[in-house]
Structure 1
Amino acid sequence: MNAMPDGNESTRDVKTLISFYSNYLWNQLSTLFPSSPSNFLEKISNLSRQTALPISTKRRAGLPLPLPANLFNSTPIKPEASRVYEVLNDIMDRSILNLHKIQNNLQFWQSRAEGSNARKAYFMIFERGPRAFVNGTVQLMRESVTNGLAMHHLSQSASAYISERIAVLSALKCSLAIFLAEFYVEIDKCGEELVQDPKKSFSSLMVILSGLFSKLEASIGHFHAQHQSNLSVHGTYSFPLQFEKLPEINQEESQWTDREIIDAINLVYKNLQELDFFLALMVAKHKKPRKVTRYWIRYTCGVVGLSVCSFWLLQHSRLMGSSDIDNWIREARESTVSFFNDHVEQPLLSIRDELLDTFKKRQKGVMDMEEVHLTSNSLHMLNFLPIVY
């Protein structure tokens, strides 16, 4: 009697699970192949073909959007909403990726700034490549002959070199972090409206994004104006960061036109492309040296040493008509066999023979049983010793 309710409950659980996954798969298929696509969905789809930055179809693990989770559980996700989420996720993913690149290089320069003056001078001469090694060595010798303050000037130059890169990367990191934080806060404010009616809230969302891009442009432009004359990296600020402006739109209208929506979305991706290009250029000019550049002396010594050893072996090999290597191998083998015979095998055999002679000469009546047992064990162990010829 108790088994029947358990069977019914398990059957209901299986049916519920199948129903849940069926609805989930149907919703996913409906987002890919909607039965009655709206104009808004067609505009979003056209974006992926018109922009130079396509929407990423597979997200990396990162910071999730601050959208209410209960609304996803209560109502199915609309196709147009999923497209808007992809746009927002792409903005966040690109910002986090750029922040990671900036932080990675910034940590390297900060670690170099914490080192001693001798460590900084070593970096300037030995860890920036062969050209910097030659130029630094020549300058160091010239200043040593001239005024005797070569190491002091070199450490000052290294401090200025490192501080310059820390200043630029820190400013970029701060500006981009503020942009990402404000973006996250704005999405948090309009998250419920964005889930319930993404088409209606899309216009105000684009205006907010345009304002955030303008603030980011002003922040980086302010740093540009303050440090353009002070920084020594050639061509660092050859062009300022400029974003496209959102066209004037009547915000009182409930719906945008098709052209206005396409232009607004294209604007976001043009600005993202401009931001990625600008940050890539700035980070490339202030990035840490590559591992091959930092350890070029070790790699060079290793390559030279390996080349010398290879050439020496080649001279004594059969390829050059020499039998030196074969003779060395034969002599090493003969020396090993001779050492084993003289110092291992012969002493063991002599000990065995002495024990056998002693055992034979002793009278059996005089020997104790314990002594006989010990002697037989010793002989037994000696008989099983391996003999190598």
Structure 2
Amino acid sequence: MDSQPPANESPPSTTPSNIGDIVPLYSSYLWNRVASLIPTSNSIILGKFSNLFRQTFTKSRRVSFPLPLPSEFPCSSPNISSDTSRIYAVLEEIMADVLSNLHDIQKSLDFWQSRAEGSNARKAYFMIFERGPVAFVNESKNFVRKSLSEDSAMQHLCLSSSSHMSDRMRVLMELRSSLASFLAQLYVELDKRGEDLLKNPEKSLPSLLAVINRLFSNLESSFSHLHAVRESDSSIDGSYSMPLVFDRLPEINEEGSQWTDCELTDAINLVHKNLEKLNSYLSVMVGKHRKPRRMTLYWVRYTCGAVGLSVFSIWLLRHSSLMGSSDIDNWIHDAKEATMSFFSDHVEQPLLAIRDELFDTFRKRHKGVMETEEVQLTQDSLHRMLRNFCEQDTREKVPDNASDQEMLEVVMNRYEKELVHPIHNLLNGELARGLLIQVQKLKLDIETAMLELDQILRANEINFAILAALPAFFLSLGMLTLLRTWLKQDSRAQGRGRIARIHRRLLVVEIEKRIMQYQSYIEQGRDKDAENVFGLLIYSLERLYRVVEKPARTSGEWDLVKQDLIELGRPQQQTSYKLTVTQRLVKVYDCLLPTLQRQ
């Protein structure tokens, strides 16, 4: 293998999607051009300096799911060289980039699938209102034209929408399949060669680099097949005008002799270059078939919001002091007074009333509407009136233990007799006196009822104070709920709330389904499909690994959860054992239990 970079090397044909990809790509190219002018004897030093230069400008990516290598690799072995550490870093970068691209593809694929499963009205709405203002004008114009000339304008729009979505779904599914197969092959190879890399890295590294080179070649063939099949029938302009061509290692004897440091350096640089080409190619391909950006998807809402904000700003300006109006100052003053009144009526006064009810003594309470002494005076007066009336009417002394009810019966009997001649008895009889006694009895009943009502009000004074504070309580409860949701990030799988737990458990269900699907394809002899599903299984494990790490560390279960996830990714592990592990994940670990079962 030649230690110098090729002198006639040209810049990559793919177009990077952002500055983070342009800097390492073209800086490497320029450095290789300069290095080609330097003698070969210094190529090792230049290669190391080139790698340092690339690592300085390359965006670092941390792979979440561990590589299928021994836990001691590459840190705890005396045989590990700097080249081996660089290979390990390259493998981590490959895994991270492939998983990141798979995630982008899967998000867009989920979006198109959800839109494709919608109704015809939903598809038509997407074609007109969710693809930006330019598409809105064009589709509206075409829809009106076809409505005037044909009767099937709506049907044509739905067919166009279905074609628009299905074309993107097909391309994304093929990209996902190719990347998943690449990921599965790489993962299986690393699982096979892990012990050899640890024990004898000098002999294992060349063969591993050759395998990686072969995997890139297979990926290139897969993408070339995608171009050949879809180039003619694609509805997306320019989708397949940029073929992907990877650089290849020269044909050398991998087993007969050890590679020199210069050859290993060039091979690692070539892997880096191929990975950069892959990222640039996928950024273009996925960018053409990805779901619309949020600004494009909700441009109608944003436009209406911008118009509404503009109108509100003009209205606010007209009522501001800048235009000589005092309306805003008056509104602020009224709002301040209303807020203070609400705080006083529903917060301050109820709390003070509760405090007084709980801590003040009974004697310090305010005087009620009716006191017991007043009622007793009225009752004593009625008793004397009844006693005098009965003694005069019966000419006998009333016993001391006679009740008011007994004496009142005597009064009522005489009252009934007096009513026979009401006018005569009103002037000369006892009718007027009987009426006054009944008025006194009515007064006593009213005062007794008022006394009982006052006692009820006093007994429930704290309840009324709490009732007055309920509006402020519910307002505070709503604010606390919003704050709790924001702190727990309950809508994400990384959160600690109920929704986050549901998302994590659904990821376990997805992993279990792919394990069973992988086993089914193996039994049917469909190795290619099994390889694809295994790559998607690694992707699902990486997603769960990423989202469960923080809650598992909080609950102290991370080491066990991590080991179980690694076991699920081992290619040689039995399917029955993997299914047992998935059941253990959702039944044992607190970070994956549902909230109700946890309680």
**TM-score, normalised to structure 2's length?**
0.49
- Report if the CA contact (8 A) 2:79-2:199 is conserved: no
* Counterparts in 2 of 1:99 and 1:44: CA distance versus 1, 3 Å: farther
Structure 2 match to 1:68: 70
Per-residue deviation, 1:45: 4.1
Aligned residues of 1:47 and 1:262 also touching (Cα < 8 A): no
Give the Cα separation in 1 of the matches to 2:69 and 2:334.
Answer: 79
Residue 170 (structure 1) aligned with residue 177 (structure 2): no
Tell me if the contact between 2:63 and 2:93 (Cα under 8 Å) persists in the aligned partners.
no
Query: Closer, same or farther in 2 for the Cα pair 1:310/1:246, shift >3 Å?
Result: same
Corresponding residue number in structure 2 for 1:264: 267
| CA–CA separation in structure 2 for the residues paired with 1:327 and 1:109 | 52
* Structure-2 separation of matches of 1:194 and 1:51: 25
- Which 10-residue stretch deviates more, 247-256 or 44-53? 44-53
The equivalent of 1:278 in structure 2 is 281
Does residue 1:243 correspond to 2:246, yes or no?
Answer: yes
Cα distance in 2, alignment partners of residues 138 and 215 from structure 1 = 46
Q: Distance in 1 between matches of 2:453 and 2:109?
A: 77
Number of aligned residues:
330
Q: CA deviation at 1:374?
A: 3.9
Distance 1:236 1:272, change over 3 A: same
- More moved, 283-292 vs 366-375: 366-375
CA contact 1:108–1:288 (8 Å) conserved in 2: yes
Report the AA paired with residue 311 of structure 1.
Answer: I
CA deviations on 1:126-176 (whole Å, 9 max, x unpaired) are 011111111111111011001122111111111111011101111111011
Amino acid at match of 1:91: I
Q: What does the per-residue CA deviation read over 1:77-114, in whole Å, with 9 as the maximum and x for residues that have no partner?
A: 72433332112111111111111111111111111111
The residue aligned with 1:344 is none
CA displacement at 1:209 relative to structure 2? 1.1
Which of these two proteins has the greater Rg computed from alpha carbons? 2
CA contact (8 A) 1:84 1:198 kept: no
Query: Partner residue of 2:199?
Result: 196
Distance 1:372 1:239 in 2: 94
Does residue 336 of structure 2 align to residue 315 of structure 1? no
Residue 109 of structure 2 is aligned to residue 106 of structure 1 = yes
CA shift, 1:235, in A, is 1.1
User: Match of 2:80?
Assistant: 78
Q: Given that residues 61 and 93 in structure 2 are in contact (C-alpha distance below 8 angstroms), is that contact kept between their aligned partners in structure 1?
A: no
- How many Å apart are 1:201 and its aligned residue? 1.6
Verify: 1:289 aligned to 2:310, yes or no: no
Give how far 1:312 is off.
Answer: 1.9
Cα displacement (A) at 1:319 = 2.1
Q: Summarize the Cα distance change of 1:319–1:212 in structure 2 as closer, same or farther, 3 Å threshold.
A: same
- The separation in 2 between residues aligned to 1:192 and 1:199, in whole angstroms, is 13
**Which runs of 5 or more residues in structure 2 are unaligned?**
1-41, 342-366, 383-443, 466-599
Aligned partner letter, 1:102 = I
What residue identity is the alignment partner of 2:284? L
Q: Secondary structure at the match of 1:190?
A: helix
Structure 1 residues 319 and 219: CA distance shift in structure 2, 3 A: same
Question: How many Å separate the matches in 1 of 2:57 and 2:197?
Answer: 22
The 3 A distance-change label for structure 1 pair 373 and 131 is same
Secondary structure of 2:95 counterpart: helix
Mapped partners of 1:259, 1:114: distance in 2: 55
Residue equivalent to 1:35: none
* Alignment pair present for 1:115 and 2:118: yes
Compared with structure 1, are the counterparts of its residues 186 and 377 closer, same or farther at alpha carbon in structure 2 (3 Å cutoff)?
Answer: closer
- Which residue identity is paired with 2:132? G
Q: Which amino acid aligns with 1:148?
A: D
Q: TM-score, normalised by structure 1?
A: 0.73
1:320-361 alpha-carbon deviations (Å, 9 max, x no partner): 123445667789979xx9xxxxxxxxxxxxxx99979xx79x
Write the deviation string for residues 159-205 of structure 1: whole angstroms up to 9, x where unpaired.
11101110111111101111111111112222211111222221111
Determine if the alignment matches structure 1 residue 229 to structure 2 residue 232: yes
Distance 2:450 2:136 in 1: 80
Q: Name which of structure 1's ranges 369-378 and 311-320 shifts more when overlaid on structure 2.
A: 369-378
Amino acid at match of 1:66: P
Mapped to 1, the partners of 2:282 and 2:308 lie a distance apart of 41
Q: Quick check: 197-206 or 127-136, which moved more? A: 197-206
- Could you say if the C-alpha distance between residues 55 and 197 of structure 1 is closer, same or farther in structure 2, counting changes exceeding 3 Å? farther
Identity %: 50
Distance in 1 between residues matched to 2:47 and 2:69, nearest whole Å: 20
Equivalent position of 2:140 in the other structure: 137
Moved more, 238-247 or 295-304: 295-304
Deviations 1:213-271 (A, max 9, x none): 11000011011001101002111111201000111223354222343222211110110
How far apart, CA to CA, are the structure 2 residues paired with 1:59 and 1:42? 27
Contact 1:51–1:266 (CA under 8 A) maintained in structure 2: no
Distance 1:205 1:133, change over 3 A: same
Aligned-partner Cα distance in 2 for 1:165–1:375: 76
Q: What SS does structure 1 have at the residue aligned with 2:296? A: helix
